């Protein structure tokens, strides 16, 4: 075997190893940054994290056996890996820019309350359906399925991600900030 062939083979092996290690590191980063503790590590997400913790899908509020769902389970689409990664990159970049270069998200309580009205832009109902494949038999679910009533899962179950007292958590958080100033 000549020197060029050996160099090509060694280079190929080194390239494959580097690519493999890079892929593993990237996969681990994607997984780690999808954890609620990571999302809640920024001060502006603190009320969301605390409310989620005590909400129906959080570890402290799960009294009826609901599956624990983290931020990425609701706030990122799971229709395909590509869609998930594109949206994760887009949302993550926006969050990082807001956090590091714009002093965090708006410290305005009304901003966050208004933001809840735009939930369809950052909560993917298809994720509800992914876990809740069988709906309990009840009149409202039947009317929803038949199209008799308009809406989606969050029309009735608006509280499921962050609990009933989410708005109170926001007010408490922003009240503390205002008292410090």
Domain boundaries, the chain: 33-180
Residue 132 has a pLDDT of 81
Residue 181 has pLDDT above 60, yes or no: no
Mean pLDDT, the chain, integer = 83
The CATH architecture assigned to 33-180 reads: Orthogonal Bundle (1.10)
What tens digit of pLDDT does each residue of 142-169 get? 888 888 888 888 888 888 888 788 888 8
Instruction: Return the residue matching tokens 């109902």.
Output: 125
Residue 16 has a pLDDT of 94
Burial (CB count within 10 angstroms: exposed 0-12, middle 13-18, buried 19+), residue 149? middle
pLDDT higher at 57 or 44: 57
Best CA proximity match to 37, nearest among 25, 49, 22, 24? 49
CB 46 within 8 A of CB 99: no
Burial (CB count within 10 angstroms: exposed 0-12, middle 13-18, buried 19+), residue 107? middle
């Amino acid at each position: 075997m000549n020197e060029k062939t050996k160099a090509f083979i060694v280079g190929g092996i080194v390239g494959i190893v580097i690519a493999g290690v890079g892929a593993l590191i990237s996969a681990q980063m994607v997984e780690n940054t999808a954890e609620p503790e990571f999302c809640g590590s920024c001060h502006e997400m603190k009320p969301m994290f605390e409310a989620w913790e005590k909400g129906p899908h959080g570890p402290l509020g799960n009294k009826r056996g609901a599956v624990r769902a983290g931020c990425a389970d609701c706030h990122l689409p799971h229709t395909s890996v590509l869609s998930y990664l594109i949206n994760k990159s887009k949302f993550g970049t926006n969050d990082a820019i807001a956090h590091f270069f714009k002093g965090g998200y708006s410290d305005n309580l009304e901003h966050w309350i208004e933001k809840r009205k735009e939930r369809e832009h950052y909560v993917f109902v298809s994720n509800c359906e992914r876990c809740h494949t069988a709906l309990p038999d009840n009149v409202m679910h039947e009317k929803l399925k038949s199209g008799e009533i308009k809406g989606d899962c969050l029309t009735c179950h608006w509280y499921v991600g962050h609990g009933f007292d989410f708005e109170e958590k926001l007010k408490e958080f922003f009240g503390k900030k205002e008292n410090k100033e």
